[in-house]
Amino acid sequence: MTQPTIQQLFDLTDQVALVTGGARNLGFDMALALAQAGAHVALTSRTLADAQASAQKIATATGRRAVGFACDVRAEAAVAQLVRDVLAEFGRIDILVNNAGNVVSTPANKPVERRPLDEWNFTLAVNLTGTFLCTKHAVAQAMQPARRGAIINLGSVAGMVGKDHRVYRGTPMGGVTPDYAAAKGGVINLTRELACWLAQYNIRVNCISPGGFWRGHSDTFTEQYAYLVPLGRMGQDGKEIKGAVVFLASEAASYITGINLPVDGGMTAW
């Protein structure tokens, strides 16, 4: 029996990937990577124009079909409609990347003793409830009937270990909040539970937990953050998340489910 080549194992040609929060930052990088590996891509933003503009960039760069959709992942009706719209456009969903997330933080409102309840609720709704809702409807409408699929959730090193908040000294950044840490810890363990349940449908569920990726941060923050990382630097935006998402989406990871993969320069290895 001829075994597939390594190139074939990583090939995503004509699969369909839905990437929530795919219009910018790491979400855009992952959507672009999946298209570069051959997949057609649906990506979302809460702002339709942003999603459409990013989709056009991906289509132009890769020659794959890419379509932008507006969706607030906190709203179940909106998520259910998103999945219906993606299926109407592409006919299938093979890969779901639950990337949509947010945190609102300033030095004044970050600490648990001053954290507003509405910010706690908002952060959990976007990061954790949104992951649940997108998974629920992608599975029910697309992956369970097809008896196949790869789901990749976005956790964070903040969901794995406590943060050294001294890294934010001398900067205007609020940094990691208790609600963000709780939400991302929930995403990581939700991944394990979903992996065990959805294996019966040949659906794999894994998690990527990024560390800090550089996006124009100040020199002060960049240097203080790098001190916490064995590799001595922040992640390179646009590059160092791509391999992880393509691997976990592909047949190269066909016997891998339920893992949390830190992409953090070794921060959680100290």
Which residues are marked as active site? 180
Burial class of residue 96, CB neighbours in 10 A (0-12, 13-18, 19+):
buried
Is-contact 157 211, C-beta < 8 A?
yes
Cβ 155 vs Cβ 260: under 8 Å = yes
Say how far residue 59 (Cα) sits from the centre of its chain.
20
Whether the CB-CB separation of 23 and 99 falls below 8 Å is answered with: no
Helix, strand, or coil (residue 77): helix
- Among the listed residues 66, 17, 14, 52, the one whose alpha carbon sits nearest the alpha carbon of residue 242: 17
